[in-house]
Amino acid sequence: MKHQIVKTVATGLLISGLSFGIAAEPLGTFHILNHLDNYGNLDLRNKPYDELPAGLVVKGNLNIAKTSIKRLPEGIDIQGSLDASNSALNRLDKGVSIKGYANLLGSQIKRWPPGIKLGGYLNLADTPLTSLPPRLRVKGDLSLIRTPITQLPEGLVVDGNLYIGGSQIREFPNTMTVKGNIYLGGNRISKWPTKLNLGGAVAP
């Protein structure tokens, strides 16, 4: 009987441990140390976290791919690049700064807010994106492939290539700059800009 009780308790502890391991939780200071490498990269890919602390500073890259994290909190400073592919991310708060690129492929982002500092390309492919801010500037490629977005913002500037295949974009704004190529991906454009600064070519 005593042996059976011990066995049951041990089994219960094991089950509890497994449950705790897969339950989503906020990212704390001690958690950060566990996932930080010598170069300042914070790798949370496929980890059981659902919240980042406000004002977090990451000296390298931040990887939250395949996590339950839904937002980048106010004042977060990513001094490398962001990988949020196939994550639950659906919101960026004000004051977010990303020195490198932002890969949001397959995330849940619907709106890219104004005032976000971004130093590289922006990949929004396969997201439910419907809105980009006026006069958005992307210092690299901009991918809107297979998104439901219907229009590009007025005064858009893309320093690299623009990809819109599979989106709902059928008209371009009056003023737009693309320093690379425009890849239509089969989309038929019925209205072109009156002022288009294009550095490359248009691919159908």
Report pLDDT for 98.
Answer: 99
Higher pLDDT, 126 or 27: 126
93-114 per-position pLDDT tens digit? 999 999 999 999 999 999 999 9
Residue 30: pLDDT band by 50, 70, 90 thresholds? low
The three-state secondary structure class of 161 is: coil
| pLDDT at residue 26, rounded to an integer | 76
Query: Which residue type does 148 have?
Result: P
Q: Which residues are within 8 A (CB) of 19 and not within 5 positions of it... i.e. 6 or more apart? A: none
pTM: 0.85
3-state secondary structure of 3: helix
Alpha carbon distance 123, 140 (integer Å): 10
Grade residue 25 by pLDDT with cuts at 50, 70 and 90.
confident
Q: Which tops the pLDDT comparison, 40 or 35?
A: 40
Q: pLDDT averaged over the chain?
A: 89
Rounded Cα gap, residues 193 and 175, in angstroms: 6
**Do you know the residue count of the chain?**
204
In this prediction, residue 28 carries a pLDDT of: 66
| pLDDT reported for residue 23 | 58
The answer, yes or no, to whether residue 15 has pLDDT greater than 60, is: no
pLDDT number for residue 29: 66
| 8 A C-beta contact, residue 70 and residue 48 | no
pLDDT value at residue 33: 78
pLDDT of residue 136: 98
pLDDT digits (tens, 9 = 90+) for 117-172: 999 999 999 999 999 999 999 999 999 999 999 999 999 999 999 999 999 999 99
Q: For a pLDDT cut of 70, what percent of the chain falls above it?
A: 87
